[in-house]
Structure 1
Amino acid sequence: MSKQAAISQQRAPIYEALQRFREMRVVPFDVPGHKRGRGNPELTAFLGKQCVGVDVNSMKPLDNLCHPVSVIREAEELAAEAFGAAHAFLMVGGTTSAVQSMVLTVCKRGDKIILPRNVHKSVINALVLCGAIPVYVNPEVDARLGISLGMQRQQVARAIEENPDAVAVLVNNPTYYGICSDLRAIVCMAHDAGMRCLADEAHGTHFYFGHGLPVSAMAAGADMAAVSMHKSGGSLTQSSFLLTGPDVHAGYVRQIINLTQTTSGSYLLMSSLDISRRHLALHGREIFHKVVDMADYARQEINAIGGYYAFGRELMNGDSVFDFDSTKLSVHTRDIGLAGIEVYDLLRDEYDIQIEFGDIGNILAYLSMGDRIQELERLVSALAEIRRHHQKDPAGMLTQEYVEPEVVMSPQDAFYADKVSLPLAQSEGRVCSEFVMCYPPGIPILAPGERITAEILEHICYAKEKGCSMTGSEDPDLQHINVLA
């Protein structure tokens, strides 16, 4: 980073504007109705005067998120520079909003988009909204871990060759488990075919600031990337960035964002993006070097327990696992006879340790700038005790997270079609018209337009039995499922 860039990154324009506003003691005859907290003393006591005092509405000194011309625009310019993007948009609807805006920018009804099936539900939700047609590159599955891997170059090339009318290729960078595809190669393949390349970087914010981590989407030449600053970047929950490359029309992207994003952008979220961007730009390399060291230490200690497998860069194979995010502490639990969700529940209920998620075979402890070695040692000790006290025979456990879908019709057509509700056990062979997923991570087991098979039903019932939080269906207990009439 140049000296001039480093100096500019010390600015935080939204934060600075809010500080100036606080000192002005403006009389509020506008929204929000709590009037800087005076009207809701319980809320003020809970969140604090500092917080509710800057929960304000758009006004000239503070700019407007829908059409920024001053401090928000400056914050976006600084973010674009920090991330190596042509433009950065502040997003206050989470990375879901960023992902959907990304897809809606490049796709309209009937357009094809090439993507892996192990995408977050927000991607398929975007297809429901715009009517685009998914062309799935079904990922390879790791036989031992049962998890889906990245997109193989040959499969992407084949999908592009067989669908030359597709408008874009979307890539997870990385997956929830930390696995990365060969993003640079996929970008080149997409561009050579006249397609856009989009990256869901919900779990890859730190790629832009760390050293020795997988390549970021902007550095790889992708056209757009959705970045969860609130995950590994330190900002408040629900705040994200949408990044674009030099060949994307920023004015049109703004119009797309404004179709769905609130006109009352939260200054708590926006200032947290502004402050966190400054923090990462100035200190990110040092921060994430420490995070990688902590994760490597934890992997070594967990693997020394026996029975667990904390996996890492040894999975890399040059293609479907082209790279690995070393900050991700993913642990395979099936060999001790426990599903990941069972270990997740034990850690929370018996040890007061809250990890990111557990599925049928793995857990993920999400490490970032706020973690310390002493907490990791507590996690390692708890895992050792869980093995000692709760280990079972792994015979009969499901071995695969990913079930390859049979796509019958587009997500939009299926979602809006006439439907009936059937008992789950009677739905085999029918076409699903809603989502079914374990959350987190929020990757659909079933999406609208996919056929319900015996294997999928077994997976759903097993996940429910083990205690996974099942979401997406109209029936909150998932005793019934909506299918095409």
Structure 2
Amino acid sequence: MIIMNQKETPFMDAVLKYVKKGIIPFHTPGHIQGKGVSKEFAEFFQYALAADSAEVEHLESHHDYEAARKEAEKLLADLYKVDRSFFLCNGTTEGIQALILAYFTSQDTVLLPRNAHRSVVGGLILSGAKPKWVYPEIDREWKVATVVETEKWLEQSQGVSGAFHLYPNYYGMCQDLEKQVIDGLPNLVDEAHGVHLQFSDFFPKQALDFNITATVQSPHKILSSLTQSSWLHVKKKEDAARISQVLGIIETTSPNFLLWSSLDAARALEAEDNNRWNETVFRVQNLRKVIKQISGFKIFEPTKSHTEIYAMDPLKLMVSASDLGLDGFRFRDELRKRGIMPELAETEFVLFLITPAHQEKELAHLSKALEDISQNGVKSNRERINVPIYPRLKTVISPKEAFFSTGVSVKLSEADGCIAQEMIIPYPPGIPLIMPGEQITKEVIELTQYYKSLNWPLRGMEDKNTEFIRVIS
């Protein structure tokens, strides 16, 4: 019997160790270690432990927090010009799954992009709704899924009960959402990465500018709220009541007041000062010019061949060091050695998330790190494979039916042709390589083994060594 030391605090220690390293984060949350929060919230946070409470003091309700919450949500709805907004304290996952449960049942088929986030699959499992997947376009040089092409999306829209859109995607790419809205049906949006789009004319249009039903956003990703805090917007009053009912079922009955307070403060900051977004865009434009002058690096920019990409968020910076012989993961490791941590690494590039909290000092540190990598002559010795990053998979049964079926664990290497009961999810970005109900192929097996060799975190599998996968027996 192993006797464990209960005085150890491994998770808390790991967090503190990262903070003390002084690494400059170009990743979520958007407040960048507190640099981007408002003065008022910084002062409030001095009382964080005391404010982690279950009571408030409010003129109308005295001790009931609901009145204060609703007042704050009305201010949020006014800022985004919608009928109703909701604070969420279980992330955008909560909002996505609430929307799916509010509009779809096991009798419904939902039109979805195949590069949807894992939380969407959770919503399908909970609701029983059947997905009708539309695969995004692939940039073969960068080995990245872009967005769904409009004509393909509309071709697949016959007979569906509604649509769930991804806008923008993780990398800031936007499709022509206005044309992809399906008239007369619920049009729901995962806008986790687009919470800031209304605050500058340099950004793509926000989803709420189109004829959608509701959208979920992640202010913690690029605004200044705390991690796990999100919000949901509903355009019309008649849709708000049903969504409110569902949220009442799935949201926690012990909400974190620090998260809600951070949402309130983030909204107030955006209402006060929008010009900071324009200033951030100007800084990023200058940074792009600097990076282009450094030997060995490329920045992703849509070309005429990317007809599916209608617009792109300028604050998402995809940079490749493949001309230096570095895959994305080795590139990330070299950045980390130089005090920089990007949002994510993939096989061909890293992604930098830039917010108003990144001032000239942080951007100069990034460009200096890139210059040092360029001059250092580091190369990767990892072998690359030529397998489609989004193999077309057959959906045999619904995600819910697969999830609740009897399953067995088999060797991944021998699972070709089996029906998956669990997901394999490269994380980030959190897009399932395979999901419950889909048939496993040789390409899925090879990609999983390749990603494992790159030390790309893979989630969703019971076997954390990714040697076995649960399939339907």
| 1:436 is the counterpart of 2:424 | yes
| 1:197 is the counterpart of 2:196 | no
Q: Deviations over 1:372-406 (max 9, x none)?
A: 22222222222333343313589744475433322
Aligned to 1:10: none
Distance 2:329 2:107 in 1: 38
Q: Deviations over 1:446-476 (max 9, x none)?
A: 1111111111111111111111111111111
Distance 2:334 2:90 in 1: 32
- For the residue of structure 2 that corresponds to 1:444, the secondary structure is coil
Do the aligned residues in 1 keep the contact of 2:387 with 2:443 (CA within 8 Å)? Answer: no
Aligned to 1:9: none
Q: How does 1:418-437 map to 2 (within 5 A)?
A: 418-437=406-425
Higher RCO, Cα 8 Å, sep 6+: 2
**Aligned letter for 1:479?**
E
Distance 1:62 1:142 in 2: 56
1:170 to 164, 171, 196: 164
Distance 2:202 2:300 in 1: 18
| 1:81 is the counterpart of 2:78 | yes
Give the aligned length.
430
Aligned to 2:155: 158
Distance 1:203 1:220 in 2: 17
Aligned to 1:384: 371
| 1:61 is the counterpart of 2:58 | yes
**Where does structure 1 lack aligned partners over 5 or more consecutive residues?**
1-14, 23-47
Do the aligned residues in 1 keep the contact of 2:56 with 2:65 (CA within 8 Å)? Answer: no
| 1:112 is the counterpart of 2:109 | yes
Root mean square deviation of aligned Cα: 2.3
2:198 to 208, 212, 217: 208
Query: Per-residue deviation at 1:68?
Result: 7.1
Distance 1:247 1:112 in 2: 25
Do the aligned residues in 1 keep the contact of 2:399 with 2:436 (CA within 8 Å)? Answer: yes
Distance 2:384 2:328 in 1: 15
Q: Deviations over 1:160-189 (max 9, x none)?
A: 13xx2x2211111111111101111112xx
Do the aligned residues in 1 keep the contact of 2:419 with 2:439 (CA within 8 Å)? Answer: yes
- For the residue of structure 2 that corresponds to 1:160, the secondary structure is coil
Do the aligned residues in 2 keep the contact of 1:339 with 1:466 (CA within 8 Å)? Answer: no
Q: How does 1:242-281 map to 2 (within 5 A)?
A: 242-246=232-236, 248-281=238-271
Aligned to 1:308: 297
Do the aligned residues in 1 keep the contact of 2:296 with 2:321 (CA within 8 Å)? Answer: yes
Q: Deviations over 1:289-341 (max 9, x none)?
A: 122222222222223223322113x4466841011111101113434332212
Aligned to 2:129: 132
Q: How does 1:220-299 map to 2 (within 5 A)?
A: 220-246=210-236, 248-284=238-274, 286-299=275-288
Do the aligned residues in 2 keep the contact of 1:361 with 1:401 (CA within 8 Å)? Answer: no
Distance 1:59 1:433 in 2: 45
Aligned to 2:96: 99
Do the aligned residues in 1 keep the contact of 2:72 with 2:264 (CA within 8 Å)? Answer: yes
Q: Deviations over 1:233-284 (max 9, x none)?
A: 1101111111111164212111101111111111101111011001112212
**Where does structure 2 lack aligned partners over 5 or more consecutive residues?**
1-39
Do the aligned residues in 2 keep the contact of 1:103 with 1:126 (CA within 8 Å)? Answer: yes
Distance 1:63 1:269, change over 3 A: farther
Paired-residue identity, %: 30
Distance 1:454 1:306, change over 3 A: farther
Query: Per-residue deviation at 1:114?
Result: 0.3
Distance 2:94 2:59 in 1: 22
Do the aligned residues in 1 keep the contact of 2:344 with 2:350 (CA within 8 Å)? Answer: yes
Aligned to 2:468: 480
Do the aligned residues in 2 keep the contact of 1:218 with 1:225 (CA within 8 Å)? Answer: yes
**Aligned letter for 1:170?**
F
**Aligned letter for 2:429?**
P
Aligned to 1:183: 177
Do the aligned residues in 2 keep the contact of 1:147 with 1:400 (CA within 8 Å)? Answer: no
Q: Deviations over 1:219-243 (max 9, x none)?
A: 1121111100101111011111111
Do the aligned residues in 1 keep the contact of 2:55 with 2:65 (CA within 8 Å)? Answer: no
Do the aligned residues in 1 keep the contact of 2:327 with 2:348 (CA within 8 Å)? Answer: yes
Distance 1:371 1:118, change over 3 A: same
Do the aligned residues in 2 keep the contact of 1:104 with 1:130 (CA within 8 Å)? Answer: yes
| 1:360 is the counterpart of 2:328 | no
Which TM-score applies when normalising by structure 1?
Answer: 0.83
Distance 1:467 1:385 in 2: 24
Distance 1:289 1:398, change over 3 A: farther
Q: Deviations over 1:102-136 (max 9, x none)?
A: 21111111311101000110011110111111101
Q: Mean alpha-carbon deviation: is it higher for 457-466 or for 403-412? A: 403-412
- For the residue of structure 1 that corresponds to 2:432, the secondary structure is strand
Do the aligned residues in 1 keep the contact of 2:84 with 2:237 (CA within 8 Å)? Answer: no
2:325 to 315, 337, 352: 337
* Structure holding more helix per residue: 1
Do the aligned residues in 2 keep the contact of 1:316 with 1:323 (CA within 8 Å)? Answer: no
Do the aligned residues in 1 keep the contact of 2:330 with 2:380 (CA within 8 Å)? Answer: no
Which TM-score applies when normalising by structure 2?
Answer: 0.86
Do the aligned residues in 1 keep the contact of 2:409 with 2:468 (CA within 8 Å)? Answer: yes
Query: Per-residue deviation at 1:212?
Result: 2.3
Query: Per-residue deviation at 1:149?
Result: 1.4
Q: Deviations over 1:134-154 (max 9, x none)?
A: 101111111221211112111
Aligned to 1:470: 458
Distance 2:458 2:416 in 1: 18
Distance 1:90 1:446, change over 3 A: same
